[in-house]
Structure 1
Amino acid sequence: MKSSGLQICGIYGLEGGPWAQSAEMRASQQEVTAIVAGIQSQNFPNGLHIGGVRYTVIRLFPDTVTAKCRGAAKEEENYLLHAALAKTCVIIGGMFGPAERDTTKLVEDIRDYLVKNYSKMSWAAYVTNLEGGKGRCKYAGIWGKQGGVWAESPDKSQFPISAEDVAVATRAVVNQDQNVMGTGLTIAKNKFTCLRMEPEILICQGKGDNKDHSLVIAVSTQAVIIGFNPDPDVKTAQVREGVEGVKDYLKSVGY
């Protein structure tokens, strides 16, 4: 992050935990959460603190704050700190220099990049969690509600799901199409009985020789989460728990 030109820089979750930070950054969790709270409330009655150093707020906007160091030495008075809120994190950076716009631009460039690319960087981790969690999904996928795969298991040999399959399943859940409870669904060339339909989730089980196959499809605000497991020792409820957990989290952060 220092390659951006900032002397100190850190990216933190809104609860204050560090995602990434430069070696020189000495922000405590309490200091970070105080900055987040100050931006959200638009109120810094006692200024702000990073690494025990006090800063005077000189500019405050709905999602950013700029502050100047209260150092005794003249050169320290030119040290500027800027913090910018994103949906799920806060970016804090500081540098020497009289040009306030340099500090703010560098921090906000990082924030804007994260906003634009957050989903691309994150979806694979959810797939990994579904594969390794209780449901031990042999296939897990995160798809856009309007189409397009965001991330999925690299091995689709047991479950060659297509974009059209996802679209059919998504329409069934979104429209609460009760017809599928009688007709079932054909997904990834496999026939499934639909066991249960809820407002945001569809629980399915394989037919015939594939009766042990479990399939769970859930929709969040913007995404479709799919989990599949063919093993008889893994119950549909286990797959559901994993898929529904991802769905609930994505909804909570606006996805």
Structure 2
Amino acid sequence: MTTPPRILSIAGSDSSGGAGIQADIKTITMLGGYAMTAITAITAQNTCGVTDVVALSPEMVGAQIDACVSDIGVDAVKIGMLGSAEIAHVVAARLEELGVPVVFDPVMVATSGSVLADAATIAAFSRLMACAALTTPNVPELEALGGDAALEALGVAYLAKGGDAEGDVVEDRLMVPGEAPVIWRAPRIVTRHTHGTGCTLSSAIATGLGQGLSLPEAVEGAREFVRRALSAAPGLGAGHGPMGHQAVR
């Protein structure tokens, strides 16, 4: 029996199950990985919005990471919602010593529009981007991080996601320092069931990297997984509904 890649998700909990840790576990499992978690925050949320957030202590987040690394081991890491600048620095300190591929989804705002990162937390993102194999900003996140010019000046690899842009075609750009851009274009899937797309994409990329895929291969497979999950959405909730992770085979 082949040992599955060990994927650690460092992210917040979504009580409605569509995004965050819950989406990551579903994605990693469906793609053949072994999912572990370090929960950074607990949210009360559903498809209509986030009603409350409680961040865990930085010490508890660090302890969760240490517990996973010291026993099970880790092949790749996905980072999502962090909850505070202090947590961001604790996570960065652990990952700088780990030496495995890290995919950083710089979560700032939920699909519903709720703010999930304050200015101090966003300021700490540069340290995480520096140790990540890939950062995956959407359109507003890329702008908040300073745009293409800022990320290129930092010398980080990033996937500029185009799902939030206008138009019938979605374009995603993989930008790796010293390499030609890799661009994917696909017809937009028109649906309101987009809750957790960023979480799902980043954890799918991390799983691919943990399986030994190259960065372009991991991104391509993750994009296809997200598109299939969007098409298989179960139609739940009154707002931005969850995707159909479990229906993807």
TM-score for both structures, normalised by structure 1: 0.28
| Greater strand share, structure number | 1
Asked which structure has the greater CA Rg, the reply is: 1
**Higher normalized contact order (CA 8 Å, seq sep 6+, divided by chain length):** 2
